[in-house]
Amino acid sequence: GSTDQDRIRHLTIALPPAYAARLFDAQQAGASDTELQEIAAEGLKDVYFQDGGRRAGSLEEVRFTDIEHLEFDL
Protein backbone atom coordinates (compact mmCIF):
# COMPACT_ATOMS: atom_id res chain seq x y z
CA GLY A 1 0.00 0.00 0.00
CA SER A 2 0.78 3.65 0.04
CA THR A 3 0.38 6.39 2.63
CA ASP A 4 0.95 10.07 3.13
CA GLN A 5 1.83 9.42 6.76
CA ASP A 6 5.13 10.84 7.94
CA ARG A 7 7.54 8.16 9.09
CA ILE A 8 11.22 7.48 9.45
CA ARG A 9 12.72 5.93 6.34
CA HIS A 10 16.11 4.31 6.05
CA LEU A 11 17.19 4.71 2.44
CA THR A 12 20.28 3.68 0.59
CA ILE A 13 19.88 4.88 -2.97
CA ALA A 14 21.93 6.37 -5.74
CA LEU A 15 20.82 9.73 -7.05
CA PRO A 16 21.00 10.09 -10.83
CA PRO A 17 24.01 12.09 -12.01
CA ALA A 18 21.84 15.11 -12.87
CA TYR A 19 20.73 15.49 -9.24
CA ALA A 20 24.21 14.88 -7.89
CA ALA A 21 25.58 17.55 -10.24
CA ARG A 22 22.88 19.99 -9.12
CA LEU A 23 23.79 19.34 -5.48
CA PHE A 24 27.51 19.89 -6.06
CA ASP A 25 26.91 23.00 -8.18
CA ALA A 26 24.55 24.47 -5.59
CA GLN A 27 26.96 23.71 -2.77
CA GLN A 28 29.84 25.38 -4.63
CA ALA A 29 27.60 28.39 -5.27
CA GLY A 30 26.97 28.74 -1.54
CA ALA A 31 23.46 27.31 -1.36
CA SER A 32 21.83 27.06 2.04
CA ASP A 33 21.10 23.73 3.73
CA THR A 34 17.43 24.25 2.91
CA GLU A 35 18.20 24.69 -0.80
CA LEU A 36 20.38 21.56 -0.80
CA GLN A 37 17.66 19.60 0.99
CA GLU A 38 15.13 20.68 -1.64
CA ILE A 39 17.34 19.36 -4.45
CA ALA A 40 17.94 16.08 -2.60
CA ALA A 41 14.20 15.75 -1.87
CA GLU A 42 13.41 16.26 -5.55
CA GLY A 43 15.88 13.49 -6.43
CA LEU A 44 14.38 11.16 -3.82
CA LYS A 45 10.91 11.90 -5.17
CA ASP A 46 12.01 10.86 -8.65
CA VAL A 47 14.14 7.84 -7.73
CA TYR A 48 12.58 6.40 -4.59
CA PHE A 49 8.94 7.46 -4.46
CA GLN A 50 8.12 7.69 -8.16
CA ASP A 51 10.61 5.07 -9.35
CA GLY A 52 11.52 7.05 -12.46
CA GLY A 53 7.87 7.59 -13.42
CA ARG A 54 6.62 4.05 -12.78
CA ARG A 55 4.53 4.89 -9.67
CA ALA A 56 3.13 7.72 -7.54
CA GLY A 57 2.63 9.94 -10.57
CA SER A 58 0.40 12.31 -8.62
CA LEU A 59 3.03 12.93 -5.94
CA GLU A 60 3.76 16.63 -5.98
CA GLU A 61 6.22 17.21 -3.17
CA VAL A 62 8.70 15.45 -0.93
CA ARG A 63 10.04 17.30 2.09
CA PHE A 64 12.91 16.49 4.42
CA THR A 65 11.85 17.08 8.01
CA ASP A 66 13.48 16.02 11.25
CA ILE A 67 16.52 14.50 9.54
CA GLU A 68 18.33 12.15 11.88
CA HIS A 69 21.23 11.22 9.62
CA LEU A 70 22.14 12.05 6.05
CA GLU A 71 25.26 10.85 4.30
CA PHE A 72 26.47 11.18 0.72
CA ASP A 73 29.24 9.15 -0.87
CA LEU A 74 30.89 9.45 -4.25
Question: Is residue 12 very low, low, confident or very high in pLDDT (cuts 50, 70, 90)?
Answer: confident
* pLDDT score at 73: 67
Taking the CA atoms of the chain, what radius of gyration do you get in angstroms? 13
Give the model's pLDDT for residue 52: 72
Asked if 48 contacts 16 with a C-beta cutoff of 8 angstroms, the reply is no
d(CA 4, CA 51): 17
27: pLDDT strictly greater than 90? yes
Round to whole Å and give the CA distance between 9 and 15: 16
Whole-number percent of the chain with pLDDT over 70: 74
